[in-house]
Amino acid sequence: MRRTGVILAGFAALFSSCTEELAVPGETAKGEVLISLSSDGSTSGVPGLKSGVIQTASDAELPDLADFEVEIYNSSGIRLYRDTYAETEGLRIPLNAGEYRLLAQHGDSLGIGFNSVWYAADTVFTVHGQTVEELSAVARMSKVKVAVEYGTNLQLRYSQYHSRVRLDGSASRYLKFEKDETRAGYMPAGSLGYEFYAMIDGEWKYYPAEPVECSPNDFITFHAEIDTGTGDLSLVTVRIDDSMNVIEKQETIPADAAPKDPPAITLYGFDENKAYIVMEAEDSAWVQAGIEARGGVQNCMLNIQSDYLAGLGVPQGTDIDLADPSLDAGIAEALRSVGIRWPREMSGARFANLDFSAMENTLKYEPGHDFSATFTLTVTDALDRTVSETFTVSNKSPEGLAFTASDWNAYALSLRHFKASIAEGNPYALCIQYRRDGEKEWSEAYPSQVNGTEAVFADIEGLDPSTSYQVRAIYNHNENFATDPVTLVTEAAAQMPNSGFEEWTDEFFTFKLGWSIFSKEATIQWYRPWMSAGEERWWDVNSKYTMPGDYSYISLNQNTANFPSAGYTISDVCSGSKSAKIFTVWTGYSIDNVDRLSNGELFIGTANDDGTHATEGRPFSSRPDMLSFSYKYEAMSGENFYVLVQLKDAAGEVFAVAQTATGPASSSWDTMSLPLEYSDVTRKAASVYITFKSTSSSNPSYTERSFTLGASGGVENSYSSGCNIGSVLCLDDLRLIYK
């Protein structure tokens, strides 16, 4: 746990209890003090742009009183007592008569986070001789509690967004609220600026609001919403808790009552050689020269030696007084432009710092411009006591940016499965940039996951098919540290010919009935899913299996002996004028020992003359995400229809599959979508195979009935009884879906 005394004067990092009695001149009588400490989770509202509803603190946020540290100082700023409240409660502490100060605290005073609470009590009390003083102190939240709330209209408008609440304009001192964040966080008091970020038209947009000045124990809720009247972002209102009772302000101990230790400079984030190596976007922790001047800062001189920083306008070899209220604005801006931060009002302050954490966000790698800077910081307090510290800051360039883009990364409407890595640097600072070939501006995609030094990126969607795009990886938006652009061409968002099953060819199967001179010819009409001329024949059916041909028994109903297993209908369509109709068929005649039961099948490929598959699949170079189709299904005995989709690579290996063997019954037109699952995302498609079967049962049921199929003269053909038909599947509107 990190603890400093930035707000409460007199805190020191001591970890053992001590109890002393020190005589105060002119006071000989002694008394005792009995301390009772309590905590209060309530907070004060912060007036803002608009008033809002009530919010209160939760008792669950209050720390255990036993863990508080209790300190007592005399009027000269000398600490007389320090221990935990667990050891202090009920204890009579002997003290000389006089004025004293009680300090009690628990938590982290400088941190920013959702669990970074800090409670403190600071009060003055008097001890009278020969009496026991009962002192009650209340520890309250001494940070600012911050929450963010998103309005309903905003949530409906944007799918990707987040917020940041920034402290004193610092580049690195902020709290990020994701879109589904419901917790409140904690920040030091100061000027809190609200920023809303949203993904709009493929780009992250940034909307800042005016900062709000906040004091310790304030509770502020920023509320972002869409103005429904204009459709614009009515950026931020501040919701306050104006139902709270006014909280008494704690008395501030005058500076002359604080300990008068000489000023001190403590380096945080530097190594044992007083050196800090900065790498852009590395997201370092806490890098600063902490200043403690109990007597108040009189001046704070910074002297810099660095040719590189001089080239960026930073003064060299001269003392710059950071505590001077009239510090030249150009010098101040030059320091801030390279990531050096300090409090805006330092003169008279007892605690301050020179912060270098923002350097990682302001300095970018330039080939041949590595730098090392020597800083000498000299602080003089109001009592003319001086402390000086010299330290160095140098840069380290990021190294080992690796990124590969291949043709398999380019789908029809998206770029997918990108990874990039950085051997030396922050992988969270990597992004993928892409643009249409010939365009100037880049669009960007950010990591969705980081594993060690490797960043994994979400799919880049919303692209155009059959289009050239340039893509590259870049570190921290630094043009000096980006890979060479690679050109990728998105695939076509291809569909299958005759996917609405509007095109059919009527064929006639002729066979003989009976023996020898008693035989006669018979003909049955059947159907194949293509036009007879000019069209590439993608689809075929297995009808010839249940149309075996000649048979001896002349009086047998020919539909019982020969009947197709697929065709089309004009009377039951989802769209257009036709839909496919596939069905289970039994044909047979005992005299010639024929018994053929088959599910109807419609598939991509070609069929042999006996109905078996001659080929499966057609050339196809796109990679869809799913197959969608409309269907009706009349199921026999609880059966289900079957669908299989396969993509194969150039070697004929299957690498993407979608299938179901549980297609459900439906008496009206319904839609089914089957997502393709890719076993290897690095393969490109060379062919596609799809098959529909009227049943997934290995022993399907059927019944004798009349049947309608095809059309003659605009009227659907009707086949008399003798047709032994099972489950019937009607198909229409096949469509490949691309994301």
The first and second tokens of residue 392, run together, are 């160095």
One-letter amino acid of 238: V
Residue 532 DSSP class: S
Q: Which of 318, 346, 321 is nearest to 332 (CA)?
A: 321
Helices (H), 211-323: 307-311
CB atoms within 10 A of CB 708: 17
3-state secondary structure of 73: strand
Class of domain 144-239: mainly beta
Helices (H), 351-408: 359-362
**Alpha carbon distance, N-terminus to C-terminus of the chain:** 48
Kindly write down the DSSP assignment for every residue of 543-585, as one continuous string: GGGG----BS-TTS-HHHH---SEEEESSS-SSSS-EEEEEEE
Fold exhibited by the domain 505-737: Jelly Rolls (2.60.120)
195 CB-side CA count, 13 A: 17
pLDDT given at position 379: 96
Q: What is the pLDDT of residues 418-459, one digit of tens each?
A: 999 999 999 999 999 999 999 999 999 999 999 999 999 999
Bridge partner list, 203 = 200
Residue 511 DSSP class: E
pLDDT given at position 139: 86
Thinking of the domain 399-489, which architecture would CATH place it in? Answer: Sandwich (2.60)
The rounded distance, in Å, linking the Cα atoms of 665 and 672 is 12
- DSSP collapsed to 3 states, 105-164: EEECCCCCECCCCEEEEEEEEEECCCCEEEEEEEEEECCEEEEEEECHHHHHHCCCEEEE
> Is the distance from CB of 300 to CB of 355 less than 8 angstroms?
no
pLDDT given at position 172: 75
704 CB-side CA count, 13 A: 9
Residues of the chain with CATH 2.60.40.10: 399-489
The rounded distance, in Å, linking the Cα atoms of 617 and 411 is 20
Low-confidence ranges of the chain (pLDDT < 70): 1-28, 42-61, 204, 226-260, 284-285, 532-535
Q: Which of 130, 119, 70 is nearest to 95 (CA)?
A: 130
State the DSSP H helix or E strand holding residue 265, giving kind and residue range, or none if neither: strand 264-268
| Burial grade of 87 (CB within 10 A; 0-12, 13-18, 19 or more) | exposed
The rounded distance, in Å, linking the Cα atoms of 155 and 148 is 13
User: How far lies 573's CA from each of 258, 280, 632, in Å?
Assistant: 90, 63, 9
Kindly write down the DSSP assignment for every residue of 303-327, as one continuous string: EEE-HHHHHTT---SS-EETT-TT-
The rounded distance, in Å, linking the Cα atoms of 270 and 289 is 9
> Is the distance from CB of 639 to CB of 576 less than 8 angstroms?
no
CB atoms within 10 A of CB 465: 17
Q: Which of 203, 481, 169 is nearest to 332 (CA)?
A: 169
| Burial grade of 555 (CB within 10 A; 0-12, 13-18, 19 or more) | exposed
pLDDT given at position 99: 92
Long-range contacts made by residues 376-379, C-beta under 8 angstroms, separation at least 24?
376/301, 376/302, 376/303, 377/265, 377/289, 377/300, 377/301, 377/302, 378/300, 378/301, 378/303, 378/319, 379/263, 379/265, 379/291, 379/293, 379/297, 379/299, 379/300, 379/301
User: How far lies 683's CA from each of 461, 628, 658, 680, 687, in Å?
Assistant: 19, 23, 16, 6, 12
pLDDT given at position 286: 81
| 425-440 residues labelled b (16+ CB within 10 A) or e (exposed) | bbbebbbbbbbeeeee
Q: Which of 348, 188, 190, 320 is nearest to 258 (CA)?
A: 348
One-letter amino acid of 459: D
State the DSSP H helix or E strand holding residue 726, giving kind and residue range, or none if neither: strand 715-737
Bridge partner list, 567 = 581
- Phi, psi (deg, nearest 5) at residue 284: -70, 165
Residues of the chain with CATH 2.60.120: 505-737
Mean pLDDT over each residue of the chain, to the nearest integer: 85
Q: Which residue has the tokens 């196809």?
A: 620
The rounded distance, in Å, linking the Cα atoms of 421 and 328 is 43
Taken as a whole, the chain contains a residue count of 739
pLDDT given at position 294: 74
> Is the distance from CB of 80 to CB of 20 less than 8 angstroms?
yes
Q: Could you tell me the sign of the dihedral formed by the alpha carbons of 336, 340, 345, 348, in that order?
A: negative
Q: Give the dihedral of Cα atoms 228, 230, 232, 237; nearest 10 deg.
A: -60
The first and second tokens of residue 452, run together, are 């060690």
Q: What is the pLDDT of residues 71-106, one digit of tens each?
A: 898 888 888 888 889 998 999 999 988 999 998 888
The rounded distance, in Å, linking the Cα atoms of 256 and 470 is 66
| Burial grade of 720 (CB within 10 A; 0-12, 13-18, 19 or more) | exposed
